[in-house]
């Protein structure tokens, strides 16, 4: 018997947005602390922000989406009705 799952609601959308903002602030904060502490050069900070930070944010978004229930497969898709004013 398949389990019934309700779709994520407004609270999940707010939690996703808050989680991504928090992860971005924490990630940039860690980069700033490492630069300020002398562990990263300016070139390494640039590389981290341009190449590594987007990958980090993708991983954060994937983890949050699974945790909040946005990971429903293609079986959960429903057709979208067409609007009546097509040209």
pLDDT in tens, 40-59: 999 999 999 999 999 999 99
8 contacts 69 by C-beta, under 8 angstroms: yes
Domain-located, residue 87: no
- Mapped onto helix, strand or coil, the DSSP state of residue 73 is coil
Domain-located, residue 81: no
What is the tens place of the pLDDT at every residue in 29-43? 999 999 999 999 999
pLDDT at 69 over 70: yes
Domain-located, residue 23: yes
Q: Note the pLDDT of residue 5.
A: 66
As a whole number of angstroms, the distance between CA 57 and CA 73 comes to: 22
Q: What's 8's DSSP letter?
A: P
Domain-located, residue 75: no
Domain housing 45: 10-70
As a whole number of angstroms, the distance between CA 60 and CA 21 comes to: 10
pTM to 2 decimal places: 0.75
Domain-located, residue 78: no
Q: Note the pLDDT of residue 21.
A: 98
pLDDT at 2 over 70: no
Domain-located, residue 30: yes
Closest-CA residue to 53 (of 32, 24, 33):
24
Instruction: Give how many domains the chain has, as a whole number.
Output: 1
């Amino acid at each position: 018997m398949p389990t019934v799952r309700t779709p994520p609601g407004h609270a999940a959308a707010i939690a996703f947005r808050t989680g991504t903002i928090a992860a971005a602030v924490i990630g940039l904060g860690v980069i700033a602390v490492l630069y300020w502490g002398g562990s990263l050069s300016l070139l390494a900070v640039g590389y981290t922000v341009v190449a590594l930070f987007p990958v980090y944010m993708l991983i954060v978004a994937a983890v949050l989406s699974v945790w909040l229930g946005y990971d429903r497969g293609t079986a959960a898709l429903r057709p979208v009705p067409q609007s009546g004013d097509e040209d």
